[in-house]
A = this chain, B = another copy of it.
Amino acid sequence: MVTQSSVEKFLDDLASGNPTPGGGSAAAIMGAMGAALVSMVCNVTLGKKGYEGVEAEMRAILQESERVRRRLTAMVAEDIAAFNGILAGYKMPKSSDEEKAARASAIQAGLRRATEVPLDCARVCAEVIALARRASEQGYLNVISDGGVGVLAGFTGLRSAALNVYINAPHLKDRAFTEAATAEIESLVGFCAAESEAVYKIVRGKLG
């Protein structure tokens, strides 16, 4: 599992000419870093004098941010598996008409999965942004910049995942699915662009 290798090894693998890990894996890790920073704000705030009133809220946010962090971390492997599915399809034999049909069908199934995984990554990154808002509005002031980095990482994870939808979706023959996926990702990007800038402004306003 690529997330069990060191940060330096992961960066080496990302930089290499191998197709995976690539931008899709980086998207999931940025989302996971965003979720981790939301958790950090909650963990630091819990037990701080003057923040007793937000303790229940911090515990509620933390439970969610840890859930989405696990989900996004697991998506790195899903992204790699999806890409390998496309490659495996392209390597299938194509001598007979039957083989050609089976190969085309395997490639389409791989492309669909390579569209579904980043779409799902984008949905979960949207959750990171919503959690970062709650943590940044009420969390301990001295770690508020960490909440700000969390929302930026969450939105960049989402936008990066969107690029992976844009590159794969046009090659799908199932036009209804492509159109639904594209419409959903456009809507997520639009809504979360405004939302993450609003959270950034809250954080920036609390700094010097």
Contacts and interface: CB of A to CB of B under 8 A. Distances in A.
A104 B52 CA distance: 31
- Please classify the interface of chain A as helix (H, G, I), strand (E, B), loop, or mixed, using the class held by over half of its residues: helix
A153 B207 CA distance: 23
Contacts of A12: 36
Copies of this chain present in the complex amount to 2
A32 interface: yes
Contacts of A164: 145, 149
A158 to B, nearest CB: 10
A184 to B, nearest CB: 16
A157 to B, nearest CB: 9
A22 B40 contact: yes
A81 interface: no
Interface in A1-38: 2-8, 10-12, 14-17, 19, 22-23, 26-27, 29-30, 32-33, 35-37
A171 interface: yes
A78 interface: no
A201 to B, nearest CB: 12
Given A143-B22, A145-B23, A171-B208, A16 B32 contact: no
Given A15-B65, A26-B36, 13 more contacts: A3-B6, A5-B6, A7-B10, A14-B37, A22-B40, A22-B143, A23-B148, A145-B166, A148-B160, A149-B160, A149-B164, A152-B156, A163-B207
